[in-house]
Amino acid sequence: MKVIKIAPRGYCYGVVDAMQIAREAAKNPDLPRPIYIIGLIVHNRFAVQELTDLGLITLDGPDRAAILDQVQEGTVIFTAHGVSPAVKERARERGLHIIDATCPDVTKTHDLVKDLVAQGYTILYVGKKGHPEPEGVIGEAPNDVFLVETVADVAALDLPAERTAKLAITTQTTLSQWDTRAVIDAARARFPHIAVYNEICRATQVRQEAVATQAQGADLTIVVGDPRSNNTNRLAQVAEEIAGSPAVRIESLADLPPDVLQGKERIAITSGASTPSQITREVIRYVEAQAQTAGPAEEKPNAGE
């Protein structure tokens, strides 16, 4: 059995920075307590647990404003996904100390949207409904930005004529390049003059391209990451739809289906941008051990061991 460790994989610069900002906050005795994280710092329960163990309180809820409503005092950390100006304003009004761990690539999209709206553009934003990143970006100009998720959403758009004269389309940072291209092409076909700003971040692009090329010919691609992580789910999609390799997404080694490696000649392994390296390392070590063992599969250790 050959094990293909897809590279690059795992933590991106935005997640590394957000985790570091949160760790430093936990160690700083001068910050007002309690320290809350507004939403999941990144979509990975192991990363969240690490910060909980340092004394930080992660709050979750339907949207960032609703989460913030649970906080009366102390410090709030905004996550890598970013927040809307209204949420920042509400935190200021409450007198909360604010630490902003928004990824610079997400901030760039916020700035782009503000700029385009100031120039009189109406914006189509390709993103995932219910995800915090679109919530924050659309919050920059809720009356001028329209969320579209699919080609069908573009076809169903019912914009008044004055809205379509100056039209732009931009995107969430963690989408599938291939799905997004189809949505942008549909928008271009319907509105040939639309200005296109593809904001899929570099980290997402290189991880997807690595899977598209390196997972080709693999009998199985194992994608390590949290089910709520958009970029993780997109990597599994790229493995299946672009590289043609069946994919299994697991949160950790404990999730690996018992017989999934049996009879496989080539196993590719990758992980989402929010997956801690040690979780992926455990999976790689286990699969490599299986590759060297001719006999029946060993019993798996529990994740974290």
Tell me the window of 7-15, 161-169, 238-246, 262-270 that interacts with ligand SF4 (CB under 6 A): 7-15
Count CB atoms within 10 A of the CB of residue 89.
10
* DSSP annotation string for 253-265: GGGS-TTTTTT-S
Q: Is 135 in the site for ligand SF4 (CB under 6 A)?
A: no
The SS3 assignment for 278 reads helix
Q: Is 201 in the site for ligand SF4 (CB under 6 A)?
A: yes
The SS3 assignment for 93 reads helix
Is the CB of residue 133 less than 8 Å from the CB of residue 80? no
Residue 133 among the catalytic residues: yes
Q: What is d(CA 280, CA 175) in angstroms, rounded to the nearest whole number?
A: 22
Q: Which of residues 246-275 bind ligand SF4 (CB under 6 A)?
A: 273
Q: What is d(CA 88, CA 81) in angstroms, rounded to the nearest whole number?
A: 13
**Quick one: which of 79, 231, 245, 275 contacts ligand SF4 (CB under 6 A)?**
231
Q: Is 6 in the site for ligand SF4 (CB under 6 A)?
A: no
Tell me the window of 83-91, 144-152, 200-208, 276-284 that interacts with ligand SF4 (CB under 6 A): 200-208
Kindly state the smallest distance separating residue 204's Cβ from ligand SF4, in Å: 5
Distances (CA, A) of 27 to 46, 96, 264: 19, 18, 46
Q: What is d(CA 182, CA 159) in angstroms, rounded to the nearest whole number?
A: 20
Q: Is the CB of 12 or the CB of 148 nearer to ligand SF4? A: 12
Q: Which of residues 86-125 bind ligand SF4 (CB under 6 A)?
A: 103, 105-106
Kindly state the smallest distance separating residue 13's Cβ from ligand SF4, in Å: 5
Kindly state the smallest distance separating residue 248's Cβ from ligand SF4, in Å: 22
Q: Is 174 in the site for ligand SF4 (CB under 6 A)?
A: yes
Amino acid symbol at 118: A
Q: Is 176 in the site for ligand SF4 (CB under 6 A)?
A: no
How many residues sit close enough to ligand SF4 to count as binding (CB under 6 A)? 15
Paired tokens of 130: 């219910």
Q: DSSP secondary-structure letter at 59?
A: E
Count CB atoms within 10 A of the CB of residue 219.
15
Q: Is 199 in the site for ligand SF4 (CB under 6 A)?
A: no
**Contacting residues for 104 by C-beta, under 8 A, at least 6 apart:** 14
Tell me the window of 140-148, 158-166, 190-198, 199-207 that interacts with ligand SF4 (CB under 6 A): 199-207
Q: Is the CB of 12 or the CB of 123 nearer to ligand SF4? A: 12
Dihedral Cα 62, 63, 65, 67, nearest 10 deg: 50
Catalytically annotated residue among 93, 133, 162, 199: 133
Q: Is 12 in the site for ligand SF4 (CB under 6 A)?
A: yes
Kindly state the smallest distance separating residue 103's Cβ from ligand SF4, in Å: 3
Tokens 């008044």 found at: 160
Q: Is 148 in the site for ligand SF4 (CB under 6 A)?
A: no
As a three-state string, the secondary structure of 280-295 is HHHHHHHHHHHHHCCC
Q: Is the CB of 88 or the CB of 234 nearer to ligand SF4? A: 234
Kindly state the smallest distance separating residue 231's Cβ from ligand SF4, in Å: 5
H helix and E strand count, the chain:
12, 12
Kindly state the smallest distance separating residue 160's Cβ from ligand SF4, in Å: 33
Residues near ligand SF4, by CB under 6 A: 12-15, 80, 103, 105-106, 173-174, 201, 203-204, 231, 273
Query: Annotated active-site positions, please?
Result: 133
